């Protein structure tokens, strides 16, 4: 029963964090940068400042769909970030470039996460069906549920390895924005706040994954 209380609390917390993130992004999207640079210009400058010239900055559809792709060597910025000259856009653009810097410098947690990607992709495609079948046949084939738990554990591990990757990327972004004067004493706290709430989404996701994992482990131990 306790695990259900925890899972419900995490679900509610996730909704609150998502709403706060969207609220902060919307608020800081209306605040202009002192430097007047667009998200794309911020990204290009951060890459150049770190000696990275083989990564392109490109626009992508959607909202908060920004990401760094090491395979294609692109920093993809969403429509609300690429051309925007706001504090929110600068924070997001610098954060994604933080991942590019991690890749260029061989940041260990990022290497670990990248190594897990094939495993997690495989696990994500079948884990829900394996767990369902495992629960339904627990008295006949208990090993099937154990296999599902192992698959789900890989996704949980991935969620926790993601935390230092995201936090470090934000730290690099915040430091660089301040050091280069792209943000000032008024706008720097806004950039910090925006990235803080973005980081919270990963924390809640990791906790939710852990709670779910513990739930299935509990099921497997029932007589």
Which residues are designated catalytic?
A: 96
CB 21, CB 204: distance < 8 Å: no
Q: Please give the helix or strand (H or E) that residue 50 lies within, else none.
A: none
Bridge partners (DSSP) of residue 77 are 59
Q: Which residue has the tokens 């943000």?
A: 183
Helices (H), 74-141: 79-82, 87-105, 108-136
**Widest Cα–Cα separation across the chain:** 66
Size of the chain in residues? 223
């Amino acid at each position: 029963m306790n695990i259900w209380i925890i899972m419900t609390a995490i679900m509610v917390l996730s909704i609150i964090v998502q709403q706060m993130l969207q609220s902060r992004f919307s608020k800081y999207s209306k605040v202009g940068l002192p430097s007047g640079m667009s998200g794309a210009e911020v990204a290009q400058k951060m890459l150049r400042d770190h000696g990275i010239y083989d990564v392109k900055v490109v626009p992508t559809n959607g909202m908060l769909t920004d990401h760094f792709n090491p395979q294609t060597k692109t920093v993809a910025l969403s429509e609300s970030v690429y051309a925007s000259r706001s504090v929110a856009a600068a924070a997001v653009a610098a954060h994604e470039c933080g991942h590019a810097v991690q890749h260029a410098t061989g940041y260990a947690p990022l290497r670990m996460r990248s190594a897990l990607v094939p495993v997690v992709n495989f696990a994500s495609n079948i884990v829900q069906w394996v767990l369902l079948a495992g629960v339904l046949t627990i008295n006949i084939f208990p090993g099937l549920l154990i296999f599902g738990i192992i698959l789900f554990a890989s996704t949980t591990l991935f969620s926790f390895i993601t935390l230092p990757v995201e936090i470090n990327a934000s730290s690099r972004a915040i430091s660089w924005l301040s050091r280069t004067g792209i943000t000032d004493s008024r706008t720097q706290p806004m950039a910090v706040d925006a990235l803080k709430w973005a980081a919270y989404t990963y924390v809640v996701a990791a906790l939710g994954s852990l709670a779910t994992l513990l739930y299935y482990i509990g099921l497997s131990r029932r007589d």
